Amino acid sequence: DGGITQSPKYLFRKEGQNVTLSCEQNLNHDAMYWYRQDPGQGLRLIYYSQIVNDFQKGDIAEGYSVSREKKESFPLTVTSAQKNPTAFYLCASSIRDTNTDTQYFGPGTRLTVL
Amino acid sequence: EDQVTQSPEALRLQEGESSSLNCSYTVSGLRGLFWYRQDPGKGPEFLFTLYSAGEEKEKERLKATLTKKESFLHITAPKPEDSATYLCAVQGNNDMRFGAGTRLTVKP
């Protein structure tokens, strides 16, 4: 089955620790994205990558880092510099259809800072 | 700046009671408007893409329509399993913007 997987489903972090969230896709999509979802707010873009070995900052990149060494994988590291990391994190990938990029989402990772 | 506003924030319906969810947007150069369904604790599930004003798409009890300023998601004779948060997003020349969603509850 083709799809997007994220792991772990739940993650607990102590203050001052870096943690890495995994995102893998087997849809052969070129572009991948990381979003953060907080209650009452729309999804906010953290980072995106349109091609291997290249990525761009989104609206809220401070305190986060990414890598794109393989087409299938786009891990997100939440660093200790992120002041309020507790949130639901969503990974997506997209395929271009005419002039639009339809995004498909993974199941999400809920990060809680203790 | 591109913006997406969804209303109402929450909607409670009785089973079989049809209604509509609204997505108002301002965007430079609309390339697509997207509707997603999101169940609690899960990732959004893609429903529809609308490309231009006047376009309509249907899937089971859902029908999405698009004008130059807004989109409606019409739900006909909803069932309890339609309960979810419905997200709207627009892609313009710059990027993708998401609304905060409408939380729909359908009571049996």
Q: Specify the number of domains making up chain B.
A: 1
Q: Spell out which residues of chain B touch residue A100, defining contact as CB-CB under 8 Å.
A: 31-32, 49, 51, 91
The domain of B77 spans 3-107
Under an 8 A CB cutoff, do B98 and A90 touch?
no
| CATH code of B11's domain | 2.60.40.10
pLDDT digits over A36-74, tens only?
Answer: 999 888 899 999 999 999 999 999 999 999 999 999 999
* Cβ-based burial of A108 (10 A; exposed 0-12, middle 13-18, buried ≥19): buried
pLDDT digits over A6-41, tens only?
Answer: 999 999 999 889 999 999 999 999 999 999 999 888
Instruction: Select the residue of B32, B41, B42 nearest A100 (Cβ to Cβ).
Output: B32
Find the closest chain A residue to B51 by CA distance: A100
pLDDT digits over B63-108, tens only?
Answer: 999 999 999 999 999 999 999 999 999 999 878 999 999 999 999 9
Report yes or no: B40 and B83 within 8 Å, Cβ to Cβ: no
Under an 8 A CB cutoff, do B98 and A110 touch?
no
C-alpha–C-alpha distance, residues B27 and A46, integer Å? 20
C-alpha–C-alpha distance, residues B44 and A92, integer Å? 10
Q: Shortest Cα distance from A41 to chain B (angstroms)?
A: 5
Q: Which one of B96, B102, B103 makes the best mutation probe of the A interface by having the most chain A beta carbons within 10 Å? A: B96
Please report the pLDDT score of residue B82 as a whole number: 98
pLDDT digits over B27-62, tens only?
Answer: 988 999 999 999 999 999 999 999 999 999 999 999
